[in-house]
Amino acid sequence: MAVKIYNLDEEQLCNGIKELDPSTVALERAATLKERIGEYLKAKRAIHTGFDLAREYAEAQVKILDCLGGWETDWNNWRWQLRHRVTDVDTLATLLPINDLLRQELTEVSRHLRWAISPYYLALIMCDQPLGAIWKQAVPSLEEVTDQSGSDDPMDEQWTSPVPGVTRRYPDRLIINVTNQCAMFCRHCQRRRNIGLADQHLPYPQLSRALDYVRSNREIRDVLITGGDALLLDDQALDWLLQELHRIPHVEIKRLGTRAPVTLPQRITPELCAVLEKYPPLYINTQFNHPLEITPEAKRACSMLVKAGAVLGNQSVLLRGVNNNPHVMKKLNQELLKLRVRPYYMFHAKNVRGTSHFITPVDDGLEIMEHLRGFTSGLAVPSYIINASGGYGKVPIAPNYLIGRSGNRLLLRTWEDKVISMEIPIRTTIGRE
Ligand SMILES: *Cc1c(COP(=O)(O)O)cnc(C)c1O
């Protein structure tokens, strides 16, 4: 591709503006911008959200309630949802189109790995096409047990845990893993080694030690409670834990990591919100990966959390066959903003054993970032992150916009791929004047 360099020095800019009529230029520019969005607008129409599939969802809900023996009021009860997670091939096969071969594969995988799908998320799978983006995140595939590449603990969390339950790899913040429980075990889970055979919360003495660690390390100003899914603790346990953290003067902010708004939105109850409300500032990061997960229920859950004062963010995972498509990701991030969820991170899938079928080339991620920046609201642009092995932390990866520097001249590439040379002071010595 030929690179055209636009020399926008002040002098030239002034000359240019003198020669041309600004309103003509502005109109031409507006027409060009309108053209730039055409392809997306066309693609966007074919990408559905959960709002578009209300009828399919209602039908699925009836079938699932019928199969599991529940009432419509049960559906909105998170404990019912949790108790009735589908965990066996026979039940799944009565609700999803599963042929003999698939059934054999599922049976084989089930001998080695735990899987569980909330009735709510199962309804979303039934709205999606077989083996589609929603299905792939929830229903196990044979590749999970045949894959021999990757590692069980690619982030080396076991090597960055100063006390049980705590992961610390940054100076001022840490993670407490409070449970291994989830409403659904995502097939791409980075902590699948922790899923094990049974649901287990971090035992009280260890939780207590983790809190002591935070108390005695005064540089820790940000504590992230995750798992598993932080919102699978009950209201009472969360109340206690958040209160303990709230009482530590040097803990400035608390964060919860949860996929409940996506896999179990019924968990967001007025009672839960009454607890969360008491401990600001609270940041909640969730993981929407596809526009089909944006449903009326998810919206209601997010809206309740916002009203309880939480600041919502999204940490999507870039997954092959799920969302490694610029249009899908753009729509997802735009839809999230409508729910008042700010796209925060897009993670490159980690090299976890049993998940290599999900891993995309880095170029997929870069292409998505390239399609977001400038083309849509900056608010809809997450940071693209690769987790360094060895537990060395998150590394931001971005398309290159600074393509050269020399003297006081920068060569910049804009979102439209225009290369602009600009005269601008560049600090070349260390220190401040
Ligand atoms: C991701 C992570 C955090 C939070 O990182 P931010 O970039 O601040 O969101 C903190 N501790 C650990 C161990 C992490 O993996």
Domain holding 270: CATH number? 3.20.20.70
Q: Is 419 exposed, middle or buried (0-12, 13-18, 19+ CB in 10 A)?
A: middle
173 lines ligand 1 (CB under 6 A): yes
- Contact by Cβ (8 Å): 312, 286: yes
**Coil/strand/helix, residue 359:** coil
**Dist CA 308 CA 281 (whole Å):** 11
In a shared domain, residues 137 and 162: no
Q: Is residue 36 part of a domain?
A: no
- Between the CA of 94 and the centroid of ligand 1 the distance, in Å, is 41
Residues of the chain with pLDDT under 70: 1-18, 155, 196-197, 428-433
- Length of the chain equals 433
- The residues pairing with 286 across neighbouring beta strands, listed in sequence order, are 314
Q: Is residue 26 part of a domain?
A: no
**Dist CA 220 CA 207 (whole Å):** 16
Backbone angles phi, psi at 93, to 5 degrees: -70, -20
Supply the pLDDT for residue 1: 40
In a shared domain, residues 170 and 89: no
In a shared domain, residues 324 and 231: yes
In a shared domain, residues 263 and 363: yes
Contacts of 45 (CB under 8 A, 6+ apart): none
Domain with 374 in it: 157-396
Supply the pLDDT for residue 18: 57
Query: Which protein residue's CA is at the shortest distance from atom 7 of ligand 1?
Result: 394
The CA R_g of the chain, rounded to the nearest whole Å, is 24
In a shared domain, residues 220 and 106: no
Supply the pLDDT for residue 431: 61
175 lines ligand 1 (CB under 6 A): yes
**Dist CA 74 CA 82 (whole Å):** 11
In a shared domain, residues 296 and 375: yes
In a shared domain, residues 65 and 92: yes
Q: What is the pTM of this model?
A: 0.94
Query: Which protein residue's CA is at the shortest distance from atom 1 of ligand 1?
Result: 394
In a shared domain, residues 246 and 130: no
**Furthest CA-CA distance within the chain:** 76
170 lines ligand 1 (CB under 6 A): yes
In a shared domain, residues 211 and 123: no
Query: Which protein residue's CA is at the shortest distance from atom 6 of ligand 1?
Result: 394
350 lines ligand 1 (CB under 6 A): no
Number of folded domains in the chain?
A: 2
Tokens of 344: 């925060």
220 lines ligand 1 (CB under 6 A): no
Last residue of a domain, one of 121, 146, 171: 146
Q: Report the Cα 218 to chain-centroid distance in Å.
A: 30
Q: Is residue 376 part of a domain?
A: yes
224 lines ligand 1 (CB under 6 A): yes
In a shared domain, residues 280 and 216: yes
Q: Is residue 19 part of a domain?
A: no
In a shared domain, residues 126 and 163: no
DSSP state of 382: P
Q: Is residue 2 part of a domain?
A: no
Query: Which protein residue's CA is at the shortest distance from atom 11 of ligand 1?
Result: 174
User: How many other CB atoms are there within 10 angstroms of residue 246's CB atom?
Assistant: 14
Q: Is residue 173 part of a domain?
A: yes
**Dist CA 138 CA 287 (whole Å):** 14
Supply the pLDDT for residue 433: 53
Tokens of 79: 């404990």
Residue of 170, 213, 217, 346 with the most ligand 1 atoms within 8 Å of its CB, for mutation = 170
In a shared domain, residues 112 and 228: no
**Dist CA 192 CA 180 (whole Å):** 9
User: How many other CB atoms are there within 10 angstroms of residue 235's CB atom?
Assistant: 16
191 lines ligand 1 (CB under 6 A): no
Last residue of a domain, one of 115, 146, 177: 146
Q: Is residue 43 part of a domain?
A: no
Q: Is residue 236 part of a domain?
A: yes
Supply the pLDDT for residue 304: 98
